[in-house]
């Protein structure tokens, strides 16, 4: 399936993602879509997900909702319904100060979104919003 859709929450878009731990166990997580989050890290993950890390990379300074030196981890990510299974760099941090909706485990930034051929939000005929990711390659 080349396109997956995720029901938006009031006032924000989210995606569902799986993280694969080094032992093969899988954690299903909901991440807030934040296209304004840019940089070397593709994701911000709640600190409780740090055990999903396959390794660590150098800390990086963040500015914005998170600031200062941040722990960065290497994680294996999947998006159910797409052929997306990649190793990415994520910030692992205390996200309680970010005022995320309940049951949201972090953020997916522009560096993550640009791994897909298209992405965005759509409103259906009933007025409900959803966010989509696509790995569909269209012929010219």
The CA angle 97-102-71, to the nearest 5 degrees, is 45
Q: Is the pLDDT confidence value at 9 over 80?
A: yes
What distance lies between CA 134 and its chain's CA centroid? Answer: 14
The model's confidence at residue 78, banded by pLDDT at 50, 70 and 90, is very high
Q: Which CATH number fits domain 3-133: 2.40.70.10, 3.30.300.90, 1.10.150.120, 2.60.40.2130?
A: 2.40.70.10
67 or 106: which leads in pLDDT: 106
Domain ranges of the chain: 3-133
The pLDDT of residue 136:
77
User: Whole-number mean pLDDT of the chain?
Assistant: 91
Q: What is the mean pLDDT of residues 66-81?
A: 88
Whether residue 114 contacts residue 135, with contact meaning beta carbons closer than 8 Å, is answered with no
Dist CA 129 CA 123 (whole Å):
4
Whether residue 44 contacts residue 90, with contact meaning beta carbons closer than 8 Å, is answered with yes
Q: Is the pLDDT confidence value at 63 over 70?
A: no
C-alpha torsion angle, residues 30, 7, 76, 44 (rounded to 10): -50
Least confident of 16-20, 41-45, 98-102, 108-112: 98-102
């Amino acid at each position: 399936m080349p396109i997956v859709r995720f029901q938006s929450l009031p006032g924000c878009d989210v995606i569902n993602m799986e993280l694969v731990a080094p032992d093969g166990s899988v954690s299903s997580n909901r991440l807030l879509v934040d296209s304004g989050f840019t940089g070397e890290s593709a994701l911000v993950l709640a600190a409780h997900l740090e055990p999903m890390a396959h390794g660590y990379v150098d800390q990086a300074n963040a500015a914005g909702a998170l600031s200062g030196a941040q722990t960065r981890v290497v994680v294996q990510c999947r998006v159910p319904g797409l052929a997306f299974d990649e190793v990415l760099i994520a910030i692992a941090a205390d996200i309680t100060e970010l005022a995320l909706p309940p049951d949201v485990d972090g953020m997916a930034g522009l560096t993550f979104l640009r791994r897909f051929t298209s992405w965005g939000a759509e409103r259906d005929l009933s007025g409900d919003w959803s966010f989509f990711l696509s790995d569909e390659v269209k012929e010219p």
